[in-house]
Amino acid sequence: MTTETATPTPEPPEAGERPDKRPPFMVLFGRYLTEANSVMVTVYSLLLAFLIGAILLIVSDETVRGTWSYFFSRPTDALEASWQVVSNSYRALFEGAILNFNTIDRMAAGTAEIGDLLRPISQTLTYATPLIFTGLAVGLAFRAGLFNIGAQGQMIFGMIGALIVGFSLNLPAILHLPLAVLAGAVAGAAFGAVPGVLKATTGAHEVISSIMLNNIAGLFLVWAIGTSFMHSETRSELVTKPVEDSASLPLLLGFVDDGLRVNLALLIGVAAAVFVWWLLSKSTFGYRIRAVGFNEHASSTAGMNIGRTYVTTMSVAGGLAGLAGAALTLGVGSGGITTNTALEYGFDGITVALLGRANPGGIIAAALLFGALKAGALDAQPDVPVDMSTLLQATIVLFIAAPALVKAILRLRAPRGGLVTLEAKGW
């Protein structure tokens, strides 16, 4: 689906003898920077998105708008105010997501602890964790030429599966937790298999069926929470029974400060990414996924069973999304789940997979970026509009999806082999 060119060479592929002496490294590097290859398009997409975000921050701030009305008499006012609002906002985002400089000062003064310093990072990682899973769920299916819009629904079923095992069994943690996580994966896999089976047997397009299944899953959750089996015994609002402590995901930084919410699911997510990478590049199953994704006709001619590949790929993808659900359910502490627990992690997984170009490493990086945007935007309220993170995400993906646009805006050179666009087959 993606082809990448590592080093720019001007010759077409058929060039027989190429000159022995290569240009110096800095020249090659410079060429690389000004070329619309997939890495630089990603970098420039981020920069452009933050630039557009800055413009919108300026335009949406009433005071700043006021200073622009007399720009020609005192331009410094407008420029200064604009700079202030943009730098303050982005600084607030950064401080909410990565490192708050005030905390360092407060630590020096003895009013803050190391836990306060780590809180932004912990928040970023916490928000990134489900995105890693859903990003992988979309990305893996992508490699088989399937557009898995259904990560949201698969995740919801993962939540339900993990929850039921989490509150109904009474086991030691060493058994209970893995079992609950597994239940999430299995429930997600089962739900993920449905669009795969529909496509394999009836040819129904997975995009349509998985969108519909998302709705089914969302409404099923609302109903399920209300049933006496799942509904909280102590609370009247729509919330389920809490997960037993033995099935809760342990906090990674609990020893520093038990307010740091990042938990074991992050490591499971990284392991899942490694697993997906291994699956795609080292296993026969991954070979089949890629073959079918690139050219199903040649794959079936070579004896591969296309329908079965669709079903198994969608199951594994659903299982990954189910793990996102398990991470949310088993990580919330004692609360139980509500209709809001799922948020939009499944849909965000689509943009994460796009930004990560369906590569496990890229998906982790993209999930961290989106997690940081989310953590930063939530923390920076009310100084920064909360929609800022969504807006930046959307703009980034818009540019990523339109490399020709980035190339045209920045007048980059065309890379050898053409622009890289990520697309699902069958559209």
Partner 1 sequence: MRLELKGLTKKFGSFTADDDIDLTVEPGQIHAVLGENGAGKSTLMNMLYGILKPTSGEILIDDEPVAFSGPGDAIAAGIGMVHQHFKLVGPFSVADNVQLGREHTRGAGVLSARAARRAVLDVSEQYGLRLDPDAICEDLPVGVQQRVEIVKALSGPRTELLILDEPTAVLTPAEIGELLDIMRSLAEAGTSILFISHKLKEVQAVADTVTVIRRGKVVAELEPTASETEMASAMVGREVSLTVDKTPAEPGEPSLEISGLTVVGETGVKVLDGLDLTVRAGEIVGLAGVEGNGQTELARAVLGLIRPDAGTIAVDGRRVDRDSPAQRIERGLGYIPEDRARDGLINEFTVAENIVLNQYRDRPFAKGGVIDAAAIRRRAEESIAEFDIRTQGPAEPASSLSGGNQQKVVIAREFSRPRRLLVAAQPTRGVDVGATEFIHSRLVTERDTGTGVLLISSELDEIYALADRIAVIYNGRIVGEVGPDTPREVIGRLMVGAEPDGAETEAADSAAVADFDAESPAAPDTATTDDDANGGDRDH
Q: Could you tell me if 137 and 324 are in contact, meaning their C-beta atoms sit under 8 angstroms apart?
A: yes
| Residue from 6, 17, 63, 110 in contact with partner 1 (CB under 8 A) | 17
- Which residues partner with 240 through β-bridges? 231
* Choices 105-113, 161-169, 299-307, 371-379; region in contact with partner 1 by CB under 8 A: 299-307
Phi-psi region of 62 (alpha: psi -120 to 50; beta: other; left: phi over 0): alpha
Our CB check for partner 1 shows the closer of 20 and 62 to be: 20
Backbone angles phi, psi at 190, to 5 degrees: -60, -45
Nearest approach, Cβ of residue 422 and partner 1 (Å): 13
How many of the other CB atoms lie within 10 Å of CB of 76?
A: 9
| Residue from 60, 102, 201, 283 in contact with partner 1 (CB under 8 A) | 283
Site mask, partner 1, residues 235-274, x = CB under 8 A? ----------------------------------------
Q: Interface with partner 1 includes 21 (CB under 8 A)?
A: no
Site mask, partner 1, residues 174-213, x = CB under 8 A? ----------------------------------------
> Residues in the chain, how many?
427
State which H helix or E strand residue 39 sits in.
Answer: helix 38-60
Q: What is the largest CA-CA distance in the chain?
A: 78
Nearest approach, Cβ of residue 427 and partner 1 (Å): 11
| Residue from 24, 110, 172, 303 in contact with partner 1 (CB under 8 A) | 303
User: For the packed helices 114-143 and 284-294, what is the interaxial angle rounded to 10 degrees?
Assistant: 60
* Positions 87 through 146 that interact with partner 1 (CB under 8 A): none
Nearest approach, Cβ of residue 279 and partner 1 (Å): 10
Our CB check for partner 1 shows the closer of 289 and 366 to be: 289
Nearest approach, Cβ of residue 9 and partner 1 (Å): 8
Whole-angstrom Cα distance, residue 186 to residue 170? 20
- Tokens (6 digits) for 250: 């342990």
Nearest approach, Cβ of residue 107 and partner 1 (Å): 50
Q: Which of 222, 141, 139, 181 has the alpha carbon at shortest distance from 328? A: 181
* DSSP reduced 3-state for 252: coil
Which residues would be at the binding site for partner 1 (CB under 8 A)? Answer: 1, 3, 9-19, 281-288, 290-291, 294-295, 297-305, 426
